[in-house]
Structure formats: structure tokens, C-alpha cells
Amino acid sequence: MFQGRHHPLDELESLLALDRSQVEVPLGSHGDGEEVDWIPAVDVERGEDAYRIRLEVPGVRHEDVAVAVADGVLIAHGYKHAAARARGQGRLARRECSYGEFMRRFTLPTAIDVRAVRAELADGLLVISVPWRTGEAEDSVEVEIA
């Protein structure tokens, strides 16, 4: 199909590689001086016309998450509130769930159509569709979450 030429999907492979200094960092730091409390797990699927990025964000409310693209970087940022504990419920014996602020950053290749990026939050999954560019390039856009 694309023999002997640069395949446009090859450039997008950089999305899968990600910048490991931005992803695999200890909790409490995001590698660039920004503090976070937890880092959601992510799956990236490479399709024919777009990447689909799925972040596990159970318990995160729609109004507490934002997705934006700026200067070639996709940013998913939000907050998960701890479950309220009623007085007299007893002491918390164990906590394994993550709460507080989270952030994931993805460096995007130049062949992305930032105006067509879409996000949906349902059933604890934030799914972001990142399609390839077919027209003029844009630098930044805020993504509405359905």
C-alpha cells in the first residue's frame, strides 16, 4: 500500500512511544515540576484514521476532567474526590484507591487534526479520539468531553 514511501501512520508511532519522562514518574511529581496524586493507566489503539486513547479514571466526575491540545501536546487532567466518610463510621483500615489530581500528557505527531479531537467519559473510561490531519494545521484547541 505505502511501499517505498513514508507511511503516515509511522509518524504517529511517536504517540505510542510517548515521552517516558512524562509518564513513568513517581507519584507526587509529573516530571516537569507539576504535582499530581496519581497517574491513570492508559491504552493507546492505533486505528486506520485515528488513535484512540483510553484512560482508566473510575469515580472521576464529568465536571472534574479536562482535555486539551496545546503546542503539539494532548493533556488529560482532572481530579478524583475521596469518598465522604460519615462521622462514627469507624477508622479506615486500608486505602488502595487513588484520589486527588491526575494528569497524562501525550506528545502528538504533526499529522494530527487537533480540531477533530474528541473525548468521551463513561463508565470510568475517558476515551479520546485523535484523528489524522487532512487540511490546515492548528496549534491548540480545548476538547469538549461528551
Residues 24-76 have pLDDT tens digits of: 333 333 445 567 888 999 999 988 899 999 999 999 999 999 999 988 889 99
How far out from the chain centre does Cα 5 lie? 31
Has residue 21 got a pLDDT over 50? no
Question: What is the predicted pLDDT for the residue at 101?
Answer: 94
Answer yes or no: are the C-beta atoms of 50 and 130 closer than 8 Å.
Answer: yes
Write the secondary structure of the chain as one string of H (helix), E (strand) and C (coil): CCCCCCCHHHHHHHHHHCCHHHHCCCCCCCCCCCCCCECCCEEEEECCCEEEEEEECCCCCHHHEEEEEECCEEEEEEEECCCCCCCCCCCCCCCCCCCEEEEEEEECCCCECHHHCEEEEECCEEEEEEEECCCCCCCEEEECEC
Has residue 83 got a pLDDT over 50? yes
Question: What is the predicted pLDDT for the residue at 9?
Answer: 53
Answer yes or no: are the C-beta atoms of 113 and 132 closer than 8 Å.
Answer: yes
Question: What is the predicted pLDDT for the residue at 96?
Answer: 79
